[in-house]
Structure 1
Amino acid sequence: MPSANYRALLRTPGAAAFFLPASFGRVGVAMTGTGIVWLVHSRTGTFTSAGLVGGCFAVAEALGAPQVARLVDRFGQTRVLPPVLLAHALAVALLVTLVAAGAPAAVLALGGVLAGACVPQLGAMSAARWAALLRTGRAAELPSAFALESVSNEAGYLLGPVLVSSLAAAGRPVAGTVLAASLSVAGGLVLAAQHGSAPPPMADGPTNDDPVAVREDRSLLRGEVVLLMGLNLAIGVFFGAMQVSVTAFSVAHGAPGAATPVLAVSGCSGLLSGWLYGLRRWRTAPRVQLPAAGGALMLGTLLLLTVGSPLGLGLVVVLTGAAIPPLLVLFSVLTQSTVHQAVLTRAFSWLGAASAAGSAAAAAVSGRAVDAFGPAGGFAVTAAAAAALTLQSLVGLRLLRTTEVQPTGN
């Protein structure tokens, strides 16, 4: 049966032991940003302050994640993750205390920065473990492993915000934030305890007898990585504009409550497509698959411009939602095949930061587009992002001639 692909992966010694706690912890990570917004709003009564603190948290996470990942690549997950988790727990506790004490918005924003700077990047660490586990002799299974990662991430970002919002709606915003931090820390601690599957730490400085490491040391400045960052920036713009545009569309059609089920339909479509994508072994090269998946996303975004009802929107987001997981899997496959393992966690984190930056910028840009042109203006931003992604994929066909970089010795 095709699902044997996933069973074989999870039966690999050590695989389930790191994948499951990382997935568990990612639910907490997905809850944190939304939880902070609800927490601050519950005390201040204004979304201006809540948005300020939430925005500071997001920016700090985007900038801090690659720096934490640099330490992880150099010293190893099992040494770096515990102090990062401790710092995150203390920062969240400080923010909760500041909110309870009625601190000014500027002080709360500083608390948001501290909490965001040390968010545990469990997804990047889990992906790096798959790459290390399967790199020798089982590289053909990496797309299926990254498909599992995509499904886990999609599930986390479906469940997490719903859970924390439900607690906030029930009058328990503090419980939502504390639960988010608890899930992140618990999942991270269990992950850190899995020494056997952790990629070996490698020093930043190359040795004289290791020419591969000399080339690798500057690998994040390579054209392939810049291209992958551009692709992740575009997908981030799509994410940010889509959330704003779907909400605006629902409000404009007199059904503000429709936004939540429409976004849920998109997420469920992504879960299914990510699962199905990983079930088969694709003979077509990832760099060739990439423009095809981008084209499917672009088609869906163009259809968004034609819908006239929440029901029609729900049908179209099935297509756009289904196009996302294959793209994310391909980004991961291309990253691990063009970046040396000594900087792989850092590379995954930088790509995530690019996506987060695109999402944050798109939220502002699409908001203005909606104000000027209605929901169609917001959907035009998603279409532009999908077109930019597809164009970059086509331009990068020659650049992304993937030859797996061989690992260096310790």
Structure 2
Amino acid sequence: MAASLSDYRAALTTPGAAAPVCASVIGRFPIAMHSLATLLYVREVEGSYAVAGAVSASLLVGTAVGTVVQGRVLDRLGPTRPMLLLVGVYLVAVAGLIACIEARTALPLTLAVAVLTGLATPAFEGSSRALWSDLVPPGPRREAAYTYEAISLETFFILGPALAAVLVLATPWPGTAVVVAASAEIVGTTWFALTAAVRRRSARIRDSRRAGSLPVEGGLLGVFRRPGLRTVALASLGFGLVAGTAEVGVMAATAFAGSPAAGGVLLSLWSLVSVLTGVLYGLRPWPRPLHLRMPVLLAGFGVLVTAMGLVSPIGSLALLTVVMMAAGALITPQVTAHSLGVEQTAPADSATEAFNWMVMAAVLGVSAGQALSGTMIDLLGPGGYALGGALGIVVAGLLWLRRGTIAATDPARVPVGAAP
């Protein structure tokens, strides 16, 4: 089912949507900015991509674990109170991380504080997405809302790192980008938690829990026990791996070409291409079912990022730009497919937890990609990040082997009149 531009407009202007949408723009913007800002900050202080990648990876590992734990709590307690508590803990943790970096403390201590900061980072991406089920009815408008979520999330994944790079390079103190990211997290999360729509959702969840009518996915893994959702998470992991590799690789490639500031510009252009293709993706129905689209999109993304790595040692920014923009055209279609995959494979009452599993997978992928890219660039030069793209192709192969777990729930595979 395709969504028209009027569906996007209707969804975003639904009564009660404006405040949480604006708050989520501020609070989610640093989702990928924080990690790259930390990486570049440590790189400036320590002079090593390997050390910087380790600190950034630790932050993202903590974020990934915290995302899932928070998602389960938010599904059971409602978003408002847990989010406000997290804001206070996060403020203390990020101040401690900055202090460790500035004091150049022993690496194990810095890594531990980075993990703690990640655990405390407010993760309301899932709550933002789940809120649409309260605001708009099923149909094209809700699909438009979910596509908007995918487009905005991917915009933040690409534009955030671009801003981080600019702030690190253009301001006197390399920690400026970390402070900006943390401030946006705190302001956006606090505002989102206090909006009327979120408070109503929290009250409804609390009432359902008291009445004993709130379904709970038990066990350590919760909703992640569902095979289809694990496959969607694998796709998200592969996407994050390739994207994280490219983010660090582009910065190294432009520095090698003699224009370090061009890295931020290229990442911004990447974001623009991603948004434009995302809108086009949402305006028309796609001919292939979801379980076939996801591995093909990831494979194409991996091939193009591998090509980016291979052309980087040439030092031609024009050639790198052409290949990079082609890769950017495959970004939002992947994230939209992941969001639709969560819709198909997870129960509505566990929507926040399910979506946060997907975010966790993407964050872990970005973490691994950044760490791998930094290490390979130190060892092999600006083209070393091609390995990350190649690994993305491998993940796409694994995704193809698991495609049947999504096919069973894909509406394109369900006969008319049959129950999905």
Sequence identity percentage: 26
Is 1:396 matched up with 2:403? yes
TM-score normalised by L of structure 2: 0.80
Instruction: Encode CA deviations 1:270-289: one digit per residue, 9 max, x unaligned.
Output: 12111222234557643344
Distance change >3 Å, CA 203–CA 112, structure 1 → 2: farther
Q: Which residue of 2 aligns with 1:177?
A: 178
Note if contact 1:290-1:330 (Cα within 8 Å) is conserved in structure 2. yes
Aligned mates of 2:143, 2:398 — CA distance in 1 = 23
Question: What letter matches 2:291 in structure 1?
Answer: R
Where 2:65 maps in the other structure, the secondary structure is helix
Aligned mates of 2:233, 2:161 — CA distance in 1 = 26
Is 1:237 matched up with 2:241? yes
Q: Which residue of 2 aligns with 1:63?
A: 65
Aligned mates of 1:346, 1:15 — CA distance in 2 = 21
Displacement of 1:331 in angstroms is 0.6
Distance change >3 Å, CA 207–CA 282, structure 1 → 2: farther
Give the length in aligned residue pairs.
401
Aligned mates of 2:23, 2:177 — CA distance in 1 = 20
Displacement of 1:261 in angstroms is 3.6
TM-score normalised by L of structure 1: 0.82
Aligned mates of 2:52, 2:376 — CA distance in 1 = 23
Where 1:278 maps in the other structure, the secondary structure is helix
Aligned mates of 2:338, 2:94 — CA distance in 1 = 31
Q: Which residue of 1 aligns with 2:356?
A: 349
Q: Which residue of 1 aligns with 2:344?
A: 337
Instruction: Encode CA deviations 1:357-388: one digit per residue, 9 max, x unaligned.
Output: 22333344455666777766633541441353
Aligned pairs for 1:11-30 (under 5 A) are: 11-30=13-32
Instruction: Encode CA deviations 1:225-274: one digit per residue, 9 max, x unaligned.
Output: 22112111211221133234445555666665554443333222112111
Note if contact 1:207-1:213 (Cα within 8 Å) is conserved in structure 2. no
Deviates most, 82-91 or 256-265: 256-265
Q: Which residue of 1 aligns with 2:224?
A: 220
Query: Residue 120 of structure 2: which of 118, 121, 125 is its match?
Result: 118
Note if contact 2:66-2:120 (Cα within 8 Å) is conserved in structure 1. yes
Instruction: Encode CA deviations 1:294-335: one digit per residue, 9 max, x unaligned.
Output: 454356457557756432221122221111111111111111
Instruction: Encode CA deviations 1:82-130: one digit per residue, 9 max, x unaligned.
Output: 0011111121233344555665444433332222111111322211212
Aligned mates of 1:258, 1:166 — CA distance in 2 = 9
Is 1:310 matched up with 2:312? no
Distance change >3 Å, CA 387–CA 304, structure 1 → 2: farther
Aligned mates of 2:18, 2:400 — CA distance in 1 = 33
Note if contact 2:309-2:385 (Cα within 8 Å) is conserved in structure 1. no
Unaligned runs of 5+ in 1: 405-410
Is 1:297 matched up with 2:301? yes
Aligned mates of 1:176, 1:366 — CA distance in 2 = 21
Displacement of 1:140 in angstroms is 3.7
Question: What letter matches 2:205 in structure 1?
Answer: P
Displacement of 1:63 in angstroms is 1.8
Distance change >3 Å, CA 57–CA 352, structure 1 → 2: same
Displacement of 1:65 in angstroms is 1.6
Distance change >3 Å, CA 248–CA 99, structure 1 → 2: closer
Deviates most, 338-347 or 149-158: 149-158
Distance change >3 Å, CA 139–CA 287, structure 1 → 2: farther
Q: Which residue of 1 aligns with 2:282?
A: 278
Deviates most, 167-176 or 10-19: 167-176
Aligned mates of 1:264, 1:43 — CA distance in 2 = 25
Note if contact 2:235-2:295 (Cα within 8 Å) is conserved in structure 1. no
Aligned mates of 2:143, 2:77 — CA distance in 1 = 27
Unaligned runs of 5+ in 2: 412-420
Q: Which residue of 2 aligns with 1:84?
A: 86
Distance change >3 Å, CA 370–CA 25, structure 1 → 2: closer
Note if contact 1:78-1:195 (Cα within 8 Å) is conserved in structure 2. no
Question: What letter matches 2:138 in structure 1?
Answer: R
Deviates most, 266-275 or 168-177: 168-177
